[in-house]
Amino acid sequence: MNLKHDVRAVARQFQICGEIRSAEPYGSGHINDTYCVVFDQAGTCVRYIFQRINHLVFKNPVALMENIARVTRHLGGEFAGAGDASRRSLTLVFARDGNPSYQDAAGNHWRVYLFIEQARTYDAVESPGQAFEAAKAFGLFQKVLANLPAPRLHDTIPDFHHTPKRFLALERAVAADAFNRALLAKPEIEFAQQHESITSVLLDANLPERVTHNDTKFNNVMLDDTTGEGICVIDLDTVMPGLALYDFGDMVRTTTSPAKEDERDLSKVKMQFPMFEALVRGYLSTAGSFLTKEEKQLLAFSGKLITFEIGLRFLTDYLNGDTYFKVHRDGHNLDRCRTQFKLVESIENQEESMNELIESIAFSGPPVTELAEELR
């Protein structure tokens, strides 16, 4: 084991029995360090997920873990009667001192989850059925958390989806141009400036605050290997008060295009209508009962806005020298920004038909659940 962190030492601090057999970096997240750690427990290999919380991004890991402990307990309680209950929500393994996380000598905060077996995440969507399942799972997540008892959750990253502030951050990065990259990103900067007017639309729409996930990208939901069902929503660091449409918007961003987020061949990036339809049907099958008319009317717009917002963030990070998102090659954040802005264009070209579809599904069609099975 030649890892960046001493996972073996960390493991001793958690309530896990048995001997470590292996520990490997895991997943393709941009923020935390994730490891899959295998323990031999009386002759059986059992896997766990270990995560080092990125405390440069999440400034208050203790508050964050308080949120996650409350949210996982609530979800676990709600799913308790359902089949396969232990795979339907994340389960924290507590540290030996009873805390939901452990801080090592270097100041890193660690947490451990039971491994969700026989399910996996995908970096790119493969079928409308998958889009449907992801959206259904995220909608159910919001629905169950609508009953989370008070108090209000902590804001783990204040103004996380405040798009006008994200725009201002870009403007500051352009003005500073600390890494002389602005010229290389001239078309993208211009694209961002031309779209400034959309940044405040959701904030101005007077929509209800809800408990939302805020990072509903497609690889943050695990799909069951056998049934394809969206079995478990993961990556709970940003679960906090927000707008339902932040979640739907990020689903549109990550599930309607067949291309990966960092695809360099932009001809592959496009909003595919069947995926969008599957998303709308999947999401409304679980969230349709509590969403307001105003929220439903802005479903397509939210896809455009959140795609634009994440594009702004990639561009800003590129200009600032790649300090926030993990990068694996030169220009990685600029490549990511380009796919986002290409997708914004594609959504714009189809926005009218997307809105017509929502009108027919959400306001005048047959009940959403009746049609849902056709997509599977």
Answer for the pair 75, 144: CB distance below 8 angstroms, yes or no: yes
Answer for the pair 216, 188: CB distance below 8 angstroms, yes or no: no
Q: Which does 57 bind (CB under 5 to 8 A by kind): ligand GN1, Mg ion, ligand ADP, none?
A: ligand GN1
With CB under 6 A as the contact rule, the residue among 310, 315, 358, 362 that binds ligand GN1 is 310
Least Cβ distance, residue 296 to ligand GN1 (angstroms)? 23
Kindly indicate which of the ranges 101-109, 115-123, 146-154, 241-249 contains the residues binding ligand ADP, using the contact rule CB under 6 A.
Answer: 115-123
Closest residue to ligand GN1 in the complex (CB) = 30
- Alpha-carbon distance of 180 to 167, in angstroms, equals 19
Is 70 a binding residue for ligand GN1 by CB under 6 A? The answer is: no
Among 105, 102, 137, CA closest to 121: 137
The amino acid that residue 188 corresponds to is E
Q: Which does 113 bind (CB under 5 to 8 A by kind): ligand ADP, Mg ion, ligand GN1, none?
A: ligand ADP
Q: What is the dihedral of CA 258, 264, 266, 272, to 10 degrees?
A: 10
Measured from the CB atom, is 145 or 234 closer to Mg ion?
234
Kindly indicate which of the ranges 10-18, 31-39, 192-200, 300-308 contains the residues binding ligand ADP, using the contact rule CB under 6 A.
Answer: 31-39
Give the tokens for residue 54.
Answer: 């990125």
Among 176, 361, 171, CA closest to 281: 361
**DSSP string across 228-255:** --EEEE--GGG-EEE-HHHHHHHHHHHH
With CB under 6 A as the contact rule, the residue among 89, 130, 163, 219 that binds ligand ADP is 219
Query: Which x/- pattern, by CB under 5 A, does the window 200-239 give for Mg ion?
Result: --------------------x--------------x----
In the region spanning residues 214 to 233, those forming contacts with ligand GN1, defined by CB under 6 A, are 215, 217, 220
Q: Is 43 strand, coil or helix? A: coil
Query: Which x/- pattern, by CB under 6 A, does the window 34-53 give for ligand ADP?
Result: x--------------x----
Element (H, E) at 182: none
Least Cβ distance, residue 271 to ligand GN1 (angstroms)? 17
Least Cβ distance, residue 319 to ligand ADP (angstroms)? 23
> Residue 294 CB: number of other CB atoms within 10 A?
12
Tell me the HSE value of 296 on the side-chain side, using a 13 A CA sphere. 21
Measured from the CB atom, is 277 or 317 closer to ligand ADP?
317
Element (H, E) at 184: none
Measured from the CB atom, is 220 or 350 closer to ligand ADP?
220
Is 238 a binding residue for ligand GN1 by CB under 6 A? The answer is: yes
Q: Residues in contact with ligand ADP, total (CB under 6 A)?
A: 16
- Alpha-carbon distance of 267 to 345, in angstroms, equals 12
Residues that bind ligand GN1 (CB under 6 A): 29-31, 57, 215, 217, 220, 235, 237-238, 261, 310
